[in-house]
């Protein structure tokens, strides 16, 4: 009875609420006309902040959406709404655990590597030429590691599949827009969309997801759906013309093919090996067509690839200079490096910087390689701590895959672990693994994998069904 009464009262007075909301929105619209457009969104921002803190599991979805938009906050250069949301989700997750009288930080196998990285990185600051960028860089790592810990503590296994599904849908939507823009300009420009250059890593991970779905799906309709998505993501990747992302995709697919081939043979499912051969053949033919420059639309991507193969790529030569400089800086300070965050400043204090012609066009670019950046800035101790984290990501996946016997368990394990390995592989030749929007993406994927591995190894959810994703409302695994 009280519930019915409350419902009737709400309906009776709901018009007052809507009037109030309308008045507030119009008020902020007027304020926006006077002081700036961003004031218009203040009520929505307040609602988002409240949801992220009060319901961190929902805040994760908001965060996953925000990373697709690289729009700096007013008055800043490299601070995005997603950065603010990370702190809200962290606050909400920790507060939620405190309110439920749980340990503020859940004890997991990822905590020690993350803590060691932060300790060693802080120690490397004693070697820094300029402490300010070093402190900022350390705070960035603390932020991203906090996201990993917070998401592991608030996510449930049931959240992982819908979260991946939502990100795949977003990536597909932006990919279609980018492909249309790429066709409109005749393939002569690099197209990224609202996420700018960071969108390349989104297409890499989505491509790996789609490849797993194509190889492991039990129904033909599902394989066709995954194949269609694989085509969309692949074309969007070509539209970015990002060579490092292409290499990352090829390595990730190579790992996937090897895992599926071995698992298929071990489990007595030879059709998986046939699918590997089919997909490998199709992708090889498509690669030959693109590199052969037979289709005008793919002229620019083909040219960027052939420039590297022929040794004529100027940007690759600049990268080689930066990598050589980073390794030389490491040789001069091998234990703690030159200090976290210092590669952007090394032209100011490395005595051998100007002794190479490559220095003329690379000032302020950093090392353009995460592995070399960390080994130069944090030395043997720092790179060892980072590699320990990456090794745990790798070893936990191989351990689970060696144990699984059911096709559905293997599918959902590879659906998440293969993209995580794509991120790990990119660490050795690409950039931004723990930086800005790609860093938040890394944190989300690492957290999802840690949560999955904990659930699987503890015996929970082993019989909860296949890792199912859906597009347009149709589930397929």
Residue 383 has pLDDT above 80, yes or no: yes
3-state secondary structure of 180: helix
pLDDT of residue 30: 65
CB 375 within 8 A of CB 337: yes
- Name the burial class of residue 202, with classes exposed (0-12), middle (13-18) and buried (19+) by CB atoms within 10 angstroms of its CB: buried
| Phi, psi angle pair for 130, to nearest 5° | -125, 110
Between CA 270 and CA 264 the distance in angstroms is 6
Per-residue confidence band for 68, with pLDDT thresholds at 50, 70 and 90: very high
Distances (CA, A) of 382 to 121, 139, 344, 346: 6, 16, 18, 18
Share of the chain above pLDDT 70, in %: 83
Between CA 442 and CA 202 the distance in angstroms is 10
- Name the burial class of residue 77, with classes exposed (0-12), middle (13-18) and buried (19+) by CB atoms within 10 angstroms of its CB: exposed
pLDDT of residue 159: 87
pLDDT in tens, 331-353: 999 999 999 999 988 888 888 77
Q: CA angle at residue 419 from 283 to 119, to 5 degrees?
A: 145
pLDDT of residue 385: 97
Which residues contact residue 433 at a Cβ distance below 8 angstroms, ignoring those fewer than 6 apart? 370, 423, 426, 427, 439, 442
Highest mean pLDDT among 88-102, 132-146, 281-295, 310-324: 132-146
pLDDT of residue 21: 57
| Phi, psi angle pair for 170, to nearest 5° | -60, -45
pLDDT of residue 19: 66
The 8-class DSSP code of residue 343 comes to: T
Residues paired with residue 469 on neighbouring β-strands, in sequence order: 476
Q: Worst-scoring range by mean pLDDT, 10-19, 53-62, 227-236?
A: 10-19
* Backbone torsion region of residue 186, taken as left when φ is above 0, otherwise alpha when ψ lies between -120 and 50, otherwise beta: left
Between CA 94 and CA 373 the distance in angstroms is 32
pLDDT in tens, 226-235: 999 999 999 9
Q: Where are the domains of the chain?
A: 16-104, 155-312+405-476
**Average pLDDT of the chain?**
85
Residues paired with residue 476 on neighbouring β-strands, in sequence order: 469
Between CA 147 and CA 164 the distance in angstroms is 17
Residue 7 has pLDDT above 60, yes or no: no
Per-residue confidence band for 72, with pLDDT thresholds at 50, 70 and 90: confident
Residue 46 has pLDDT above 90, yes or no: no
6 C-beta neighbours (distance < 10 Å), count: 10
Distance of CA 215 to the CA centre of its chain: 23
pTM: 0.88
Q: If residue 476 lies in a helix (H) or strand (E), which one and from where to where? A: strand 474-476
Which residues contact residue 475 at a Cβ distance below 8 angstroms, ignoring those fewer than 6 apart? 468, 469
Residue 215 has pLDDT above 70, yes or no: yes
pLDDT in tens, 155-192: 887 889 999 999 999 999 999 999 999 999 988 899 99
Q: If residue 243 lies in a helix (H) or strand (E), which one and from where to where? A: helix 243-266
CB 425 within 8 A of CB 252: yes
Q: Mean of the pLDDT values across residues 390-410?
A: 93
Q: Mean of the pLDDT values across residues 108-118?
A: 96
Q: Mean of the pLDDT values across residues 360-387?
A: 89
pLDDT of residue 131: 94
pLDDT of residue 461: 46
Between CA 294 and CA 298 the distance in angstroms is 8
pLDDT of residue 458: 76
């Amino acid at each position: 009875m009280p519930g019915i009464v409350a419902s009737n009262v709400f309906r009776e007075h709901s018009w007052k609420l809507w009037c109030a909301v309308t008045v507030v929105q119009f008020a902020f619209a007027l304020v926006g006309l006077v002081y700036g457009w961003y004031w218009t969104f203040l009520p929505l921002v307040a609602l988002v902040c409240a949801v992220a803190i009060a319901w961190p599991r929902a805040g994760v979805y908001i965060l996953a959406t925000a990373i697709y938009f690289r729009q700096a906050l007013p008055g800043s250069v490299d601070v995005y709404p997603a950065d603010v949301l990370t702190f809200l989700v962290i606050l909400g997750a920790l507060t939620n655990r405190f309110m439920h009288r749980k340990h503020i930080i859940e004890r997991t196998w990822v905590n020690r590597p993350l803590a060691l990285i932060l300790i060693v990185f802080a120690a490397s600051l004693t070697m820094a030429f300029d402490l300010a960028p070093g402190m900022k860089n350390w705070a960035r790592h603390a932020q991203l590691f906090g996201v990993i810990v917070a998401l592991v503590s608030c996510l449930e296994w049931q959240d992982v599949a819908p979260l991946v599904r939502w990100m795949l849908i977003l990536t597909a939507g932006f990919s279609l827009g980018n492909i249309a823009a790429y066709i409109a300009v005749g393939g002569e420009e690099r197209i990224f969309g609202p996420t700018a250059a960071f969108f390349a890593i989104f297409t890499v991970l989505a491509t790996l997801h789609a490849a797993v779905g194509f190889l492991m799906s039990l129904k033909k309709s599902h394989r066709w759906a995954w194949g269609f998505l694989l085509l969309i993501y692949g074309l969007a990747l070509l539209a970015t013309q990002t060579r490092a992302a292409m290499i990352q995709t090829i390595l990730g697919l190579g790992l996937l093919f090897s895992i599926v081939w071995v698992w298929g043979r071990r489990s007595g499912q030879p059709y998986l090996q046939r699918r590997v051969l089919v997909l490998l053949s199709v992708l090889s033919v498509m690669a030959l067509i693109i590199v052969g420059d037979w289709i005008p639309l793919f002229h620019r991507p083909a040219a960027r690839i052939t420039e590297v193969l022929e040794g004529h790529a100027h940007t690759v030569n600049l990268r080689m200079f930066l990598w050589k400089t980073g390794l030389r800086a490491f040789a001069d300070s091998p234990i703690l490096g030159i200090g976290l965050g210092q590669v952007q400043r090394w032209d100011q204090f490395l005595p051998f910087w100007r002794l190479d012609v490559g220095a003329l066009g690379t000032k302020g670019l950093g090392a353009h390689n995460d592995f070399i950046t960390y080994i130069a800035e944090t030395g043997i101790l720092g790179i060892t701590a980072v590699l320990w984290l990456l090794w745990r990501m790798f070893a936990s996946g191989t351990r689970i895959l060696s144990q699984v016997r059911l096709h559905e368990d293997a599918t959902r394990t590879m659906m998440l672990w293969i993209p995580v390995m794509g991120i790990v592989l990119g660490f050795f030749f690409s950039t931004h693994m723990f930086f800005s929007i790609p860093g938040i993406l890394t944190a989300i994927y690492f957290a999802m994998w840690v949560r999955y591995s904990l659930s699987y190894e503890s015996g929970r959810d082993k019989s909860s069904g296949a890792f199912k994703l859906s597009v347009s409302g149709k589930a397929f695994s």
